[in-house]
Amino acid sequence: MWVWAAVLVVWAGGVGVGTEPLPVHSLTRKDLARPHRIVGGDPVKKGQLPWQVSLQINGRHFCGGTLISPTIVATAAHCTKLDLNSVRIVTGAWDLKEQCRTYRIAKAVVNDYDTSTFVRDIALLQMGDMVGDAQTRDLPSGVPVSLETRAERGAGERCTISGWGRVKQGSALPHILRAADVVLRSDAECTQMFKYHSYTIYPSNLCAGGESRDACQGDSGGPLVCCKNSTSEVGSCRLAGITSWGIGCATPGLPGVYTEVAHYVDWIKKAAKKEFGEEDARSLTFYDEEE
């Protein structure tokens, strides 16, 4: 998803399954710089990672997201810099060529995203009316995952990232959901790893990867999920990060950088209550188990 010459880019997709990329006017310069690839990932089995969401325009996937309640999706703020009236939320997806539950966006709340530092790269989307015929109501709806509440916990833990990014530069887009495991880094370790580069790691960032299976798997806005047991036990899992930015693609020694969900728990609670209402806010779950 990156150019080799250490150019920083965000990970927005802007690509479709079996189609041409979205029109150039819908992408930023940084998006156009990335070669849209996924490195080190593997296809998942149908029904795995039920929290994964695809954000689409005209049936074309361009960003990922995470189902964090029956009606709320978390994604990257930079994925919302377009006409959200045209965006559809696809849940319960595995094969993007198959019919899936598809929803309009009822409302969005976007944090004060800073395009120069990439901080506060988080947004919440409220799902609206379902699109399509009545038969789609019998399709899988997805399963929400809890939100991590503990900042900078679990350094060294192996977690899972996922999405529908390209397998390699110039290849056809995979229509089957893919995932890869990455190792969480402490803030201090991540700062050290980036010390020879001009980009700052902030306390609201979470770093993971830096090995052969690195953080450019998966689209912008997609999930970094950590599970106490396994990804097949959703109750043991929590959303720790939202795919944001990085340097290179599986560049040795350089992890991917994510929005740290725990840093924004209070913002998520307040924003959901204020913008979406009490009922939707109460449907969120928070992972606060002590180590």
Report the catalytic residues: 78, 121, 220
How many whole angstroms separate alpha carbon 102 and alpha carbon 211?
35
Per-residue b or e along 77-94, where b marks 16 or more CB atoms closer than 10 Å to that residue's CB = bbbbbbebeebbbbbbbb
240 residue type, one letter: A
104 residue type, one letter: R
Task: State the SS3 of 98-143.
Answer: CCCEEEEEEEEEECCCCCCCCCCCCEEEEEEEEECCHHHHHCCCCC
Using an 8 Å Cβ cutoff, are 81 and 122 in contact?
Answer: no
